[in-house]
């Protein structure tokens, strides 16, 4: 099946934000069962949303982190914390996003997310030493 322009641009942004290695692992894990799903998220999330120039990658990262934290999506939250290295969102930006989560979605959600964020950032620092 031919890939659309949105898929192609989405894949480029996905690789830029999440890293070539992460995307390669996701592609390697794709089976016939979830191939259409992977295509959908690449085209819709990455090709339509993340590829748009209406918001910066930094702004998109912060919105995404707040939404994932508010939904308790720990695995995706951790992945997007790591992606902040390439989107320009600083550690302080991340905490500010969690302040919004605390006020608008609840302190327990933000507290849990901050715990995961601190652990992830610490692991990232250790990996770079």
Predicted confidence pLDDT, tens digits, the chain (129 residues) = 578 999 999 999 999 999 999 999 999 999 999 999 999 999 999 999 999 999 999 999 999 999 999 999 999 999 999 999 999 999 999 999 999 999 999 999 999 999 999 999 999 999 877
Indicate the pTM of the whole model. 0.92
Q: Is 47 exposed, middle or buried (0-12, 13-18, 19+ CB in 10 A)?
A: buried
What domains sit in the chain, N to C, each tagged with a CATH number? 1-54 (no CATH), 56-129 (1.20.1290.10)
Percent of the chain with pLDDT over 90: 95
What pLDDT was estimated at residue 31?
97
CA distances from 22 to 16, 27, 71, 93, 96 (A): 10, 9, 23, 23, 26
Residues 6 or more apart whose Cβ sits within 8 Å of residue 45: 10
What span, in angstroms and rounded, lies between the C-alpha atoms of 90 and 93? Answer: 5
């Amino acid at each position: 099946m031919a890939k659309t322009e949105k898929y192609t641009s989405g894949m480029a942004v996905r690789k830029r934000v999440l890293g070539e290695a992460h995307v390669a692992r996701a592609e390697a894990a794709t089976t016939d069962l979830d191939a259409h799903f992977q295509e959908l998220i690449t085209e819709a999330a990455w090709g339509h949303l993340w590829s748009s120039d209406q918001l910066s990658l930094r702004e998109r990262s912060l919105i995404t982190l707040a939404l994932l934290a508010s939904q308790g999506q720990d695995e995706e939250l951790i992945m997007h914390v790591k992606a902040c290295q390439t989107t320009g969102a600083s550690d302080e930006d991340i905490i500010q996003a969690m302040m919004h989560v605390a006020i608008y979605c609840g302190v327990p959600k933000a507290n849990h997310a901050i715990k995961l964020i601190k652990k992830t950032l610490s692991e990232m620092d250790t990996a770079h030493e």
